[in-house]
C-alpha cells in the first residue's frame, strides 16, 4: 500500500454537477456539447426522454441496454451512433447504461476491434484517441460509474465480466441529481447502496490508497453508514438520497484512483458466470472478505485502517474491525440481502471462480494477498451468509 509520503496521481471527471433538481440543466448542457446525441439508457428510456424533452438544437437517438451491458450491446450502440453521425453520447441510467455509454464513446474514436481494449479476455490495451464528449447521468446510487475511468462489460461467450479501461474514458461531465433515485425499489436501493459502501471500504484499504482517496472514502463511508437504511425505509427522504448519491459519487472517484479489492475481484467472475445482480453479490461477500483481510493483515501497516472502518460505520470512537464485521453482517440481514447460493452458485463452482478472480485488477488491488484456502473459505461462508 502506498503511504502518505509516497508519490501518487489523481484524476476525475473534468466537471461534476451535484444536487437535487440539477437534472433541469441537462438540456442546455447537452445542447452546448453537441448537435446529434446517442442517449444510452436502461431498458426504459422514459425518464431520459422526460429530462431531455426541451432540448433545442440537439437531435436525440435512444439506445437501450437491458441489464448489465454486454460486448454485443456496445457494438450495436457503436454501429447506431456511426450510422446516425452522433457527436455526443449521454449515459442516462444505472451503472450499466453509463458503462455502455463510456465504451461506445471510446470506440467511436478508436476504430480497432473491441477485444484489443478488453482486459483478461483481450489485449487490454489503452485507447489512443479521446472519446466523443460524454455526459453521465446516474439514476442509481451505487456504482459511481459517472466518475470512473473504465466500462465493465459482460462477455457471454467467456462467462465473465471484464473492463475496458483508460484515463481518457472519464466522462466529460457527470450530472448527479439525487432526486432521480427516489423511484428506485427498496431492493435496488439496498443492493446498490451496499455496492457503493463496498467500493468506499475497498478503496480505503487498497494497496494504492492515497491521502486524497482516503479523505473521500471517510466522507463517503460516514454518509452511507448514516443514510443507507433510511434511504431503503423512507424512499422519499431526500436527505438520505443525497447522502447515498454522494457516497456513490465519492466511491467512483476513489476507486478510479485507488482501485478495489477481493470483493470486486470475485464479483466480476460471478457476474459473468451467473445471473446475479452486482450490488447484491458485493453485499453478500463484504463481511466475509473484510474479516479475512483483517485476519491476514495482522501486523501489517494497513491493519489500523480496518479499525478505522469500524469507527466510521458505528460512529463510536472505541469501535474496532470486529465491530465493522458485525455492522456489515447486521445491515445485510436487515436489508434482506440474499446469499450467493440464491443465485445458483454452488460449492463446486468455487475453484472456477477463484481461478478467474486471480486475473482481475481488483483482486490485485487487495491490501493483502489471500491464499486459495482463505478465498475458498470466504466463498463458502458467503454461499449461506453464515455469521
Residue 207: predicted pLDDT = 94
Which tens digit of pLDDT belongs to each residue from 3-51?
A: 455 788 899 999 999 999 999 999 999 999 999 999 999 988 999 999 9
Could you list the beta-strand ranges (E) of 122-200. Answer: 134-138, 150-155, 160-165, 173-176
| Residues 164 and 46 occupy one common structural domain | yes
Give the separation between CA 88 and CA 363, rounded to whole angstroms: 34
Residue 194: predicted pLDDT = 96
116-to-110, 124, 170 alpha-carbon distances in Å? 10, 6, 19
Is residue 336 over pLDDT 60?
A: yes
Span between the terminal Cα atoms of the chain, in Å: 29
| pTM, entire model | 0.95
Average pLDDT over residues 199-212: 97
State which of 176, 200, 229 marks the end of a domain.
Answer: 176
| Residues 27 and 116 occupy one common structural domain | yes
Residue 363: predicted pLDDT = 95
Q: What is the CATH number of the domain that holds 154?
A: 3.40.50.1970
Give the model's confidence band at 359: pLDDT under 50 very low, under 70 low, under 90 confident, else very high.
Answer: confident
Is 10 within a domain? no
Q: How many helices (H) and strands (E) does the chain have?
A: 14, 8
| Residues 223 and 348 occupy one common structural domain | yes
Residue 161: predicted pLDDT = 87
Give the separation between CA 174 and CA 236, rounded to whole angstroms: 23
| Residues 47 and 72 occupy one common structural domain | yes
Which tens digit of pLDDT belongs to each residue from 44-70?
A: 899 999 999 878 889 999 999 988 899
Helix (H, G, I), strand (E, B) or coil at 300: coil
Is residue 238 over pLDDT 70?
A: yes
Which tens digit of pLDDT belongs to each residue from 124-173?
A: 999 999 999 999 999 999 999 999 999 999 988 888 888 999 999 999 99
State which of 152, 176, 200 marks the end of a domain.
Answer: 176
Q: Is the dihedral of CA 381, 95, 64, 92 positive or negative?
A: positive
Domain count, the chain: 2
| Residues 229 and 280 occupy one common structural domain | yes
| Residues 242 and 322 occupy one common structural domain | yes
Structural domain range at position 100: 22-176
Amino acid at each position: 500500500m502506498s503511504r502518505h509520503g509516497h508519490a501518487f496521481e489523481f484524476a476525475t471527471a473534468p466537471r461534476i454537477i451535484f444536487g437535487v433538481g440539477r437534472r433541469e440543466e441537462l438540456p442546455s448542457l447537452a445542447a452546448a456539447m453537441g448537435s446529434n446525441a446517442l442517449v444510452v439508457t436502461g431498458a426504459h428510456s422514459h425518464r431520459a426522454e422526460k429530462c431531455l424533452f426541451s432540448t433545442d438544437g440537439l437531435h436525440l437517438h435512444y439506445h437501450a441496454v437491458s441489464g448489465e451491458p454486454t460486448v454485443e450491446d456496445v457494438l450495436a450502440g457503436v454501429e447506431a451512433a456511426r450510422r446516425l453521425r452522433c457527436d455526443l453520447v449521454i449515459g442516462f441510467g444505472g451503472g450499466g447504461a453509463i458503462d455502455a455509454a463510456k465504451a461506445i464513446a471510446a470506440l467511436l474514436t478508436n476504430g480497432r476491434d473491441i477485444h484489443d481494449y478488453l482486459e483478461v479476455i483481450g489485449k487490454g490495451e489503452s485507447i489512443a484517441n479521446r472519446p466523443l464528449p460524454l455526459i453521465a447521468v446516474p439514476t442509481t446510487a451505487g456504482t459511481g460509474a459517472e466518475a470512473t475511468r473504465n466500462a465493465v462489460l459482460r462477455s457471454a461467450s467467456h462467462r465473465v465480466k471484464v473492463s475496458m479501461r483508460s484515463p481518457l474514458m472519464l466522462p466529460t461531465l457527470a450530472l448527479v441529481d439525487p432526486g432521480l433515485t427516489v423511484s428506485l425499489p427498496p431492493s435496488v436501493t439496498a443492493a446498490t447502496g451496499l455496492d457503493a459502501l463496498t467500493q468506499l471500504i475497498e478503496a480505503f484499504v487498497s494497496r494504492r490508497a492515497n491521502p486524497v482517496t482516503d479523505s473521500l472514502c471517510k466522507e463517503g463511508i460516514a454518509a452511507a453508514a448514516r443514510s443507507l437504511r433510511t434511504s431503503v425505509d423512507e424512499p422519499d427522504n431526500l436527505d438520505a438520497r443525497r447522502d447515498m448519491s454522494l457516497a456513490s459519487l465519492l466511491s467512483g472517484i476513489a476507486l478510479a484512483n485507488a482501485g478495489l479489492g477481493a470483493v470486486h475481484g470475485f464479483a466480476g467472475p460471478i457476474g459473468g458466470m451467473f445471473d446475479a445482480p452486482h450490488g447484491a453479490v458485493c453485499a453478500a461477500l463484504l463481511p466475509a472478505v473484510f474479516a479475512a483481510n483483517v485476519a491476514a493483515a495482522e501486523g501489517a501497516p494497513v491493519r489500523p485502517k480496518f479499525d478505522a472502518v469500524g469507527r466510521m460505520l458505528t460512529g463510536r470512537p472505541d469501535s474496532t474491525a470486529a465491530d465493522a464485521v458485525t455492522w456489515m453482517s447486521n445491515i445485510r440481514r436487515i436489508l434482506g440481502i440474499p446469499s450467493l447460493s440464491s443465485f445458483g452458485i454452488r460449492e463446486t463452482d468455487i475453484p472456477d471462480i477463484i481461478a478467474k478472480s486471480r486475473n482481475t485488477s481488483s483482486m490485485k488491488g487487495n491490501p493483502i494477498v489471500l491464499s486459495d484456502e482463505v478465498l475458498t473459505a470466504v466463498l463458502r461462508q458467503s454461499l449461506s451468509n453464515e455469521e
